[in-house]
Amino acid sequence: MVLLVTGVAGFIGTNFVYYYLNKYPDRKIVGIDKLTYAGDVENFMLLKPDQKSRFTFILGDITDKTFISSLFDKNDITGIINFAAESHVDRSIQGAELFIHSNVFGVFSLIETIRKKLWVQNEWPENFKFIQISTDEVYGSLTADQKFTEQTPVHPNNPYSASKASGDLFVQSFCNTYGFPGMISRCSNNYGPFQHPEKLIPLIIQRALNHQEIPVYGDGEQIRDWLYVTDHCAAIDSIYEKGLKNNVYNIGGENVRTNIDLINHILAILQEITGDRNINTTLITHVPDRLGHDRRYAIDPMKIMTQLKWRPETQFEIGMRSTILWYLHHQDWVKNRRC
């Protein structure tokens, strides 16, 4: 079995490679990435020798139809997981065009190439599967006590989430029009090893270690649901193995917290681990809120829990402490990441 993983050198793609090759010793991954600032092949230096022998990295872009087509000519690809995406909301507000190119045109180019290669006489290869990795941000913002379900209308509020929603809709349209064996996962905020330092949790860690101001949008009472990345990888695995085509699966960590509470929690753990009393809440600086900032996200993962028997296993306290320790022990990796 050869699985094609796009966006493989990014945060979640990297963690998925480690998870998948460790779980399935008889399977292979062909990973592609165009290696923007957020992707790095150095992420795979920690693979074990047996895992390295089953992992092939190829530099490439999902918008390049000729390149994607050639992968099918050279590899017996039995499935695809599409992590490839521009994913930073602030960057999308500064300039949306790159997000449209990757998250909309990229998804269309990928699935259209797949259709031309594999859809023969209106039939798909029996075991071929495709998962589009999406985000709960496509649903927009929630009021108190609500949760996103798979039936929640798509209502994106920023260019990033709009581009992801557009890619999702193309996948669904191919499922309905061509019988495309596609599935969509929409997850809550991830945290864990290998996340780029521009993201909230590693940003807090690095600024705190350097005694720099930690900017907090508005009052910091925005609410997010946090999911440990390994649990997310296990959910994707469950969808790939047991999910039904043309279905959406919401993946949530059931760890709902305000941004300000999350920051305070990280600072407390860092101070405890390092013994540095200058790491404290005085580093927090409130700044004007982000344009189009969604107030509250919360995922209802009941569908994937009941139908596919997945549930998050990592307790928030354990996952957060493990994440903080990883960044403390990999400061060279952090410093080599370019923004």
Per residue in 306-332, pLDDT (tens digit) is 999 999 999 999 999 999 999 999 999
Percent of residues, the chain, with pLDDT higher than 90: 96
Active-site choice (61, 136, 168, 294): 136
237 catalytic? Reply is no
137 catalytic? Reply is yes
Name the average pLDDT for the chain. Answer: 96
Active-site choice (160, 240, 297, 327): 160
What is the reported pLDDT for 216?
97
What is the reported pLDDT for 143?
83
Active-site choice (137, 225, 237, 300): 137
Mean pLDDT of 248-256: 96
Percent of residues, the chain, with pLDDT higher than 70: 99
139 catalytic? Reply is no
Residue 337: band (very low, low, confident or very high) from pLDDT cuts 50, 70, 90? confident
CATH code: domain 2-195+227-252+298-313 is: 3.40.50.720
Measure CA 140 to chain center: 17
What is the reported pLDDT for 144?
79
Residue 338: band (very low, low, confident or very high) from pLDDT cuts 50, 70, 90? low
pLDDT at residue 187 greater than cutoff 90? yes
The 10s digit of each residue's pLDDT in 269-310 is 999 999 999 999 999 999 999 998 999 999 999 999 999 999
- In the numeric block, the tokens 């949790």 are attached to 201
Q: What is the pTM of this model?
A: 0.96
Domain ranges, ordered by start, for the chain: 2-195+227-252+298-313
